[in-house]
């Protein structure tokens, strides 16, 4: 017997339709965020950074929702590219104070999430900690009000998702839910709404 499952068996497997629907929803949210960011920022020098973030947010959210992890091979290079793009924007606009604030925003958000991971490793994963550095960097570029909003929106979105998951019986009060998608949604929403 052939042990490799056929495409038909995989598609008909329990949860396959739900996974496909979830992926489509994440992609559509990514496209909506991308449109919102371009409309909001126009020709802002930081637009390439937020476009990069919106594009990378889609696979990050899908992997975290399906596997409860945020892959280093996506988060770490994106953080390096974002820092490089922001440094180039700072040079082009002579906005080194803004770059310093962005770097500080990344460091502070990394520190907050690291403290959360050390205090409650079951609640905050190291993938969330690494993602926090990227999001804090990008949010910090746009100012402390955007930074705080991104942090707060992540918590609100995560809480709403958790409540809905419990109400819909997709999770229990003790379930570990991925937080990366909420972090990404909160950061992108903060840039669209406040930056």
pLDDT tens figures, 110-152: 999 999 999 998 889 999 999 999 999 999 999 999 999 999 9
Give the model's pLDDT for residue 6.
42
Question: Would you state the structure tokens that stand for residue 12, as one six-digit string?
Answer: 């008909």
Give the model's pLDDT for residue 3.
47
> With contact defined as beta carbons under 8 Å apart, do 114 and 123 qualify?
no
Q: Provide the greatest CA pair distance for the chain.
A: 67
Asked if pLDDT for residue 5 goes beyond 60, the answer is: no
Average pLDDT of 165-174?
83
DSSP 43: T
- Per DSSP, helices labelled H in 42-143 are 47-67, 72-93, 96-119, 126-141
Asked if pLDDT for residue 172 goes beyond 90, the answer is: no
* Residue with the two structure tokens 């996506």: 74
Give the model's pLDDT for residue 178.
94
Q: Which contacts (CB < 8 Å, 24+ apart) does range 95-101 have?
A: 98/141, 99/141, 101/140, 101/141, 101/143, 101/144
Q: What percent of the chain has pLDDT over 90?
A: 78
């Amino acid at each position: 017997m052939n042990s490799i499952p056929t495409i038909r068996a995989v598609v008909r497997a329990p949860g396959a339709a739900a996974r496909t629907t979830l992926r489509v929803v994440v992609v559509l949210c990514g496209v909506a965020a991308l449109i919102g960011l371009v409309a909001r920022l126009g020709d802002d020098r930081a637009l390439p950074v937020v476009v990069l973030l919106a594009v990378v947010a889609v696979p990050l959210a899908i992997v975290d929702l399906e596997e409860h992890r945020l892959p280093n091979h996506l988060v770490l290079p994106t953080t390096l590219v974002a820092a490089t793009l922001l440094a180039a924007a700072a040079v082009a606009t002579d906005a080194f104070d803004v770059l310093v604030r962005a770097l500080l925003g990344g460091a502070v958000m990394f520190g907050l999430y690291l403290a959360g991971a050390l205090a409650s490793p079951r609640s905050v994963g190291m993938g969330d900690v690494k993602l926090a550095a990227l999001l804090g960097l990008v949010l910090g570029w746009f100012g402390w009000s955007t930074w705080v909003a991104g942090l707060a929106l992540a918590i609100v979105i995560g809480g709403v998702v958790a409540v809905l998951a419990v109400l819909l019986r997709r999770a229990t009060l003790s379930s570990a839910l991925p937080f990366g998608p909420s972090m990404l949604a909160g950061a992108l929403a903060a840039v669209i709404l406040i930056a």
